[in-house]
A and B are shown apart, each in its own frame.
Chain A
Amino acid sequence: MEILLVIIIGLLYAAGIYMILRRSLVKLIIGLILLGNGANMLIFLLGRVVKGHPPIIGPTEKILADMYADPLPQALILTAIVISFGLQAFAIILVKMAYKVVKTDDLDEMNATDEDL
């Protein structure tokens, strides 16, 4: 299964980069999101994946028994997911406003810094 996930990670990176290299701003943001997903999955996989043992201490136990899924990457990813939401929202609005100001979605035409609104 890890092999499949590795391939998916590679695909996500490739797709993210390809989208970032496009000239359209909307594609740029989609690319960023794909790239972020890829990175999350990478972290998740590097913590080693374990089936059916969530990092939750059993009702009668005091410490986490063997064969649990690694809680540390999970905490990292959880943070990353939430933060990336804030980032995406902000980026989308920036794109929106940029489009409103310069009336184009094309990165190559956004080359003036002091456009009047």
Chain B
Amino acid sequence: MLIAILAGFLLALFMPNVIRGLKGKSSIGIALLPFSLFSYFISFLPRISSGETLHFNWSWVPSLGVGLDFYLDGLSLLFTLLITGIGTLVFVYTSSYLKGHQYLDRFYAYLSMFMASMLGVVMADNIITLFIFWELTSISSFFLIGFNNDSEPSRKSALTALGVTGFGGLFLLAGMVTLGYITDEFQISSLAAMSGEIHGHDLYPWVIGLVFIGAFTKSAQFPFHFWLPGAMKAPTPVSTYLHSATMVKAGIYLLARFTPILGNHVMWNTTLIIVGSITMLYAALHAIFRLDLKGILAYSTISALGILTFLIGLGTEEALTAAAVFILVHALYKATLFLITGIIDHETGTRDVSQLGGLNKIMLPVGIAGLLAAVSNAGIPPSFGFVGKDLIYEATLHFGDLAWVLTGAAIVTNVALLFAGFLAGIKPFVGKLPEKFSKLHLPGPAMWVPPLILAVLGILFGLIPPLVDGPLIKPIVAALTLQDPDFYLHLWHGFNVILALSVATIATGIALYFIIKPSEALLGKATRFESISPHSMVKGLGRGFTWFSAKWTNFLQNGYLRYYLITILSFLTFLLAYRLFLGVEIYVDTSVLSEITIYEAIIVLIMASAIFFTVFTKSRLAAVASMGVVGYSFCLIFLFYSAPDLAMTQFSIDTLTVILFVLVIYNLPKYLKLSDNRDRIRDGLLSLIFGAMISILTLEVLNESVQKDISTYYAENAYLLGKGKNVVNVILVDFRGFDTMVEITVLAIAALGVFSLLKLRLKSIEKE
């Protein structure tokens, strides 16, 4: 199982070699990977439909509760089949669509990486693992959207997509961690049992808020929807795979997956219904006004995702059944429409609906696929879409007081979707064939067979619902409601309100199709409101942020060491002063201090004057010499206060340092007066204040009692354990021997650095 999920990553790793091995000719063979995965997952179908769930656990980071845990139930199975099934077709389609492309290997590598991540998302049983795969889908989709990396808009929309989905991913992580904090449980399959506990927790609104943002960004819900139309810059196979069938459904998957855990709560349901209906209406209306085929499909996809969110929000068994069916319906017809759009674009070079027409004459099989998909999209019997649409109306009609409002919203959306579907699936193929397209011909079967398969499936499932309801849909509803569902899908329900609504929808939609002719004027009307759309707001925000960062960076990172230091020190001084001012009592407890003897006082005096001399002398040698004096006085102080080792070391080091300085300084320039008096006074004041602050701080610390546990341990055990009597030395070579070892290593590195800076550099100069 693990291999099955990770196979895509492995393949991605070796892809360049694989393609080279295949010499680009039989790249269609790569489709064997998704196909074998598809067969593998479909072999679980009987077990899943009999109500089993399969678990696969793999320990990864047990200390953090993170495991590569996967499980397969009805919901995961539907998604795995969609991912691998549509994946197979997309892989095949790509082999022809991008034939001979320079970076075909890369494309397949990204695609299989994406497939593997997506499989990970839908099968993850651990919320952290889920998040990791979730982010991997964002990253791989970034590469896929930006695949035409020499085009500016393409790069931009890739960044937008990554920005929005990555941003949402972080919220998702926060939500997951909060959830884990509440329950102390990271297994998704065990969380459902704790649903009551989670609902009652104070953090529940936070959890669902965070999960919502994660799901809405991924599934392009209002107001995060704007990245999806932009992402249509990607090659069509990507749009098909990511932006209709799989990735955008990850958010839906997440909501569905967490329905048994977080759902059935008024906050959950209301938010989803509101956001879902806004999205479906807003996007459906937008779809009507588009000219670009892919734009139409993008907005109708957003709208469909809105419907799904809305259905999950309704949360009744009927609604969840409708959602499950609609996921499948939508994946089938939308992928078809995208694929045929790709064919049209590939052959005619345009995606403008107002210019297309009559293509039936040259590419009939594609036209048939388009027709079937449009029929399924419209919900015309006997398509599977009809079953789906009936279920949606059934769910909204049975929803208490708001039934008619919700049904109304659903009808409006469906009418618009039908219109969009006709525009994409039928309009380009009927009517008069423009002169310039008459020389075109049907592309190879690798391109038109995949959409045809999907379109036929959409009708077949409608004709024979038992093909899917028992094996696929029921386990999903069981997983979502945690009950054993009792229903059967029907094509024909008899004459009732729902049928009337369906007929009304279809009639209005078709009427609309004949009335509205897409044109530039209509598009212009729709884009008039662009300036207040969420997209432009985010763009403005981004610009403002860049501007602010530039200003801020220029202000702080000005490149002058001393200004950095001044900023840091002033801030530090201010903080310390503020703390002291807040009421730290400053006093000196003379009873614990040792007496001042005359020779100590003299040494301190010498030190003080040496420090002054070092700072103010105009001669470099004098500065170095007086620095040596400071060091030697240090020796004496160490000696007085019982630190003979330190005294000896300080003495030798000081000698060496002075020698070093004298050797080097000889060749350095004389001191120059580089700064004016104002600077000097400013720096002097700052450093004096800082020095005073340190002194006061030290005095304060001296008043505290000293913590001697560690020293006492060393003092008592130096001889018993370390067999030495000089405790300092025992600490260095025994107790903390490891530190000393690293220290001498560092010293050796410093010496090597000096050596190489001087010698090796000189050699290279001499060579020149």
Contacts and interface: CB of A to CB of B under 8 A. Distances in A.
A98 B163 CA distance: 42
Contacts of A34: 611, 614, 627, 630
Main secondary structure of the interface of A (DSSP, over half): helix
A10 B695 contact: yes
Interface string B635-666: 00110111111100110010011001100110
Contacts of B694: 9-10, 13, 38, 42
Interface residues of B, number: 99
- Assign chain A's interface to a size class: 35 or more
Contact of B688 (A14, A50, A107): A14
Contact of B650 (A1, A42, A59, A81): A81
A12 B690 CA distance: 11
A6 B615 contact: no
B642 A52 contact: yes
B611 A11 contact: yes
A1 B595 contact: yes
A24 B642 contact: no
Interface string B592-608: 01111100110010011
Given A26-B665, A86-B747, A89-B660, A6 B614 contact: no
A88 B750 CA distance: 9
A99 B719 CA distance: 51
- Which of A1, A33, A68 has the most chain B CB atoms inside 10 A of its CB? A1
Contacts of A105: 668-669, 672
Interface in B610-634: 611-612, 614-615, 620, 623-624, 627, 630-631, 634
Interface in A92-113: 92-97, 99, 104-108, 111
Contacts of B661: 92
B702 interface: yes
B559 interface: yes
B674 A106 contact: yes
Top 10 nearest A-B pairs by Cβ distance?
Answer: A14-B691, A10-B695, A86-B750, A69-B642, A64-B715, A17-B687, A71-B727, A57-B725, A10-B691, A18-B687
13 contacts: A1-B594, A6-B695, A7-B604, A8-B604, A17-B565, A42-B694, A49-B594, A57-B727, A58-B725, A83-B743, A89-B750, A99-B668, A107-B561
Interface of B: 559-562, 565-566, 569, 588, 593-597, 600-601, 604, 607-608, 611-612, 614-615, 620, 623-624, 627, 630-631, 634, 637-638, 640-646, 649-650, 653, 656-657, 660-661, 664-665, 667-669, 671-672, 674-675, 683-684, 686-688, 690-692, 694-695, 698-699, 701-702, 706, 708, 710-711, 714-720, 725-728, 731-732, 736, 739-740, 743, 746-747, 750-751, 753-754, 757-758, 761, 765
Interface of A: 1-24, 26-28, 30, 33-34, 37-38, 40-42, 44-59, 61-64, 68-72, 74-75, 77-79, 81-90, 92-97, 99, 104-108, 111, 117
